[in-house]
Structure 1
Amino acid sequence: MFEILLAYILAVFLLIATPGPVVALVIRNASLYGFKSAFFTSIGTNFASLILMALAITVILGVFEISPSILSIISLLGCAFIFYLGVSSLYQAFKAHQNKLLQELDTQSLLLDDNKPQKAFSPSFLEGFGIAIGNPKDIIFFVAFFPQFIHIYDSILTSLSVLVLIWILLDFSILTAYAILMQKVIFLQYKKIIGIMSDIILMFVGVFGAYYLL
């Protein structure tokens, strides 16, 4: 049991830590709006993951089936949302630069979150939730992934509960670590560049995802 659980933890860590649209969004919000925004974004993504995992568990337990056509439609909407986030943020960054509203700050002032444009809880949470819930392919992934580790306990429900709890803890911890890392001076000095790169990644993921689906 211990070996299976350890393998699961390692697999989840690598899957979550690998840069993707969720990581790109957290990094973007952390670099442009500060730790609080990235923290709220992480809460949103984790809440969406809970919903997707709950749906996956119902499929595993045979409660109901999900139509592939519905998954495809939601996936396309998710790709459009990811692309929109990247484009809108990139447009705002260039517009602010042209209007000379964004100014380079010295190292000391960069350490203060008050010197960054603030983002409220709701938009940060909804961005994180939207980008995660808009990827229903995760349901298929969880349906295929969880059964590989479902025998850590005799009870299937207990095993699934432990697997879900570990996933959420690792997911939240890793995303929070990314947000904290972005507050380091060496990264804050390049916050605009990092934000733009994250926006481009989001746009690329949205386009590639839609192309793959179509």
Structure 2
Amino acid sequence: MFRARLLTCLLLVVAPLLTACDGDQPTIALLVADASGPASRVVDVDRFTDRVEATCDECRVAVYDAGGDAGTQRSQVRQAEARSSDVVVVVPVDADDLASLTEPEVPLVSLGDLLPGSEAYVGLAEGDVPNQSATDLEAARDVLLGDEKSMTYVPTREMSEQAADVAVALLADKPVSQLGGPDAEEVDGVESWLYEHQDVTVDGLTSVLVRQGVVTLDDLCSGDTEKRCEKLGLR
């Protein structure tokens, strides 16, 4: 474990960044349920990785994709522990299937669904992740064209960055309750950060999705949606 070493590093600087110290490279394992499935809506792997690297100079992120298979993910949890990961962040394929992992050897962070034995949890206030087969851009274009009345926006980027902050804090033995983001609360005795999803109609495509950088106006209003955007005054 690198906790003591990382804490020493942290005390040497004024800014809340973890700096390089001698020794092995601290590793955060990110286990995603399925990079192309509905559960991927709670995690942006690139945003998670960028956040870790921005707040921990020497940390690395090891990504495991279970491809939607619960058995594969069980094995990946053990692989991550065996490969000396210091914190494991899991977007579970099936939370019940991982319930037997009640005493993980390293700190466990749940993302999306709460797993037993977790030290922290980042999820949605409503519980389940809303199903959406299309990407946010595809769903937004469907709403723009009138094929759908609304789409559900999940704050994936914010949740990913919060999970990254929690993981880095656990590495440094910092109290996770002092992190930013939404107010921390307890869910089943676990320190948790809960986010709200949002139903977005055509009126909110630019004020919600474009404004928050989820999609660009150029991508939203290209090809067969260009004339619709012009009619609505979006271009």
User: Which bin holds the TM-score, normalised by the shorter protein?
Assistant: under 0.3
> Which structure's relative contact order is higher, taking Cα pairs within 8 Å and 6+ residues apart?
1
Q: Which has the higher strand share?
A: 2
TM norm structure 1: 0.25
